Amino acid sequence: MTLGADFYARSVHRVAQDLVGCVIRHGSAAGRIVEVESYHESEPACHAFGGVTRRNRVLFGAPGMAYVYRSYGIHACLNAVADVEGVGAAVLIRALEPLEGLEGMRSRRGVARDEQLCSGPGKLTQALDISLDLNGSSLLDGPIRIVAPPNGAAAPRVVRGARIGITKAADLPWRFCDAGSAHVSRPWPAAMWAA
DNA sequence: CATGGGATTGACT
DNA sequence: GTCAATCCCATGC
C-alpha cells in the first residue's frame, strides 16, 4: 500500500523513523529502506535553512514529494518531503536492502557485492535509476513509490545516532537505521541507541 | 558575470 | 588513512 499524504504530513523525525522498513520502488527496481536521516528548516544542515530559493523550493512544497538534488557535482540524493506545506523538511534516504531488479542495479552500479548496490545515498539513486529530473515528482502517484512494510513483516529494530557527512548541526541525533541490516552506508557509530 | 561550497564516492597511499 | 572528481546554484561584485 503506497504511503499517503497523511503519512508525510507529520513531524519529519517521526516520518523518518517510520520509513525504516518501508519499500521504495522505481521501475522494476525495489529495495527496503534501512537507513534515513531527517532534516528540518530550523537547523543549518538543512537545505531549507534560510528560506526558499529556487534550488530548495520543493522542500517547502506538499508532503510526499521527492526532493532530488545533486551532491558534490556528481551524485543525486533522494529525499521525501515531510511536514505540512510551507515547512521546509525532508527525510534523506541513505541506504536500501535490494529486493527486486538486482540485475539492473548491478549493471548500473558495476560492483560485485549486493551489499554495495544501495549502501549510500548516491549509490541507491544510481541503483534505482533516479536522477535530477525526478525532483518535484510525487511519491504518492509518481514514478517513485514508497509502500508500507508488507503485512506480517517483522518490525525493524530502529536505532538512532548522529547524521553523517555534514559540518553544521552535526550533533543532532537524526539518523535512523535498521539495527539488523548489513546494507547500511556505514558501520554503527559508537553512539547509537534505541529510537 | 565569477566564485565557492557541498546531506558523496571510489581510487589510491 | 588521504584526496580528486564535477556541477548546480547561491551569493557577491
From first to last of its 195 residues, what are the pLDDT tens digits of chain A? Answer: 999 999 999 999 999 999 999 999 999 999 999 999 999 999 999 999 999 999 999 999 999 999 999 999 999 999 999 999 999 999 999 999 999 999 999 999 998 799 999 999 999 999 999 999 999 999 999 999 999 998 888 899 999 999 999 999 999 999 999 998 999 998 766 566 777
Q: Write the DSSP symbol of residue A65.
A: B
- Structure confidence at residue A26 (pLDDT): 98
Asked if strand B comes closer than 7 Å to A46 Cβ, the answer is yes
Q: Write the DSSP symbol of residue A44.
A: T
pTM: 0.96
For chain A, give percent helix, strand, coil, nearest 5.
20, 30, 50
Going by C-alpha positions, the residue among A89, A140, A97 that lies closest to residue A116 is A97
Query: Which residues are in reach of strand C, CB within 7 A?
Result: A 50, 53-56, 70, 72-74, 132
| 3-class state of residue A53 by DSSP | coil
Are A115 and A124 spatial neighbours (Cβ–Cβ below 8 Å)? no
CA–C1' nearest nucleotide, residue A55:
C9
A23 membership: H or E segment, kind and range: strand A23-26
- Round to a whole number and report the distance in Å from the CA of A150 to the C1' of B6: 36
- Structure confidence at residue A190 (pLDDT): 58
Cα torsion angle, A180, A184, A186, A190, sign? negative
Q: Which nucleotides of B are covered by protein (CB under 7 A)?
A: 5-10
- Round to a whole number and report the distance in Å from the CA of A122 to the C1' of C6: 14
A16 membership: H or E segment, kind and range: helix A12-19
- Structure confidence at residue A180 (pLDDT): 85
